[in-house]
Amino acid sequence: DEYLLIVNKPAGMLSVPGKTGQASVLSILQERYPDATGPILVHRLDMATSGLLLAAKDKDTHALLQKQFEGRTVKKRYIALLDGTPQGKEPKGFIRLPIRPDYDNRPLQMVCFEYGKPAVTRYEIIGVIQSEAKNLTRIAYYPETGRTHQLRVHSAHPDGMNCPIVGDPLYGQTADRLYLHAERLEFRHPITDQRMHITKEAPF
């Protein structure tokens, strides 16, 4: 509408411009909406992650949406494929593992109970995909905090799901893509006050 828009970012595209000069969601939006003011993008996704990104067309709308993210009233649902089947995990639950940067291995993040920032992910195991080669687990994630690589770390860590996301070159093994998709966004429209529910199903 005239205040905001939502983008379905493909896997492999940057949210904001990087050092390489390749196209990003932000650069495309700036080109398409030259009259837009302010930072435009309200949040970001990792380059390897696909899915829904919220953008504002003016700085006032951006500020109001940002407040919702800061207040954790925006609800997000991600779909992922895990490489393996989690052992000893309830079908639904929480992962609470604090995260900080791995300063010796950037851009990796690591679990650290001494210096890490709180990171909480609610999960729901949807089902297991069995094949001759290996088993994969389809899972829904509902992050309650927004740490860098939070879902990727919580998937791979032994105290998390102990199964990396399929195609994760940092915490697992490379594949044709990272099988992580931001499928659903729920937020309050800052102008109309309407509760918005936006879904774009995972392409896998």
Catalytic residues: 46
Region of residue 192 (phi > 0: left; psi between -120 and 50: alpha; otherwise: beta): alpha
151 CB contacts (<8 Å, ≥6 apart)?
78, 80, 121, 141, 143, 165, 180
How far out from the chain centre does Cα 196 lie? 18
Structure tokens at 123: 């999960």
CA-closest candidate to residue 80, choices 2, 130, 142: 142
How far is residue 67 from each of residues 21, 56, 130, measured CA to CA in Å? 30, 13, 42
Q: Are 144 and 72 in contact (CB under 8 A)?
A: yes
First to last CA, the chain: 29
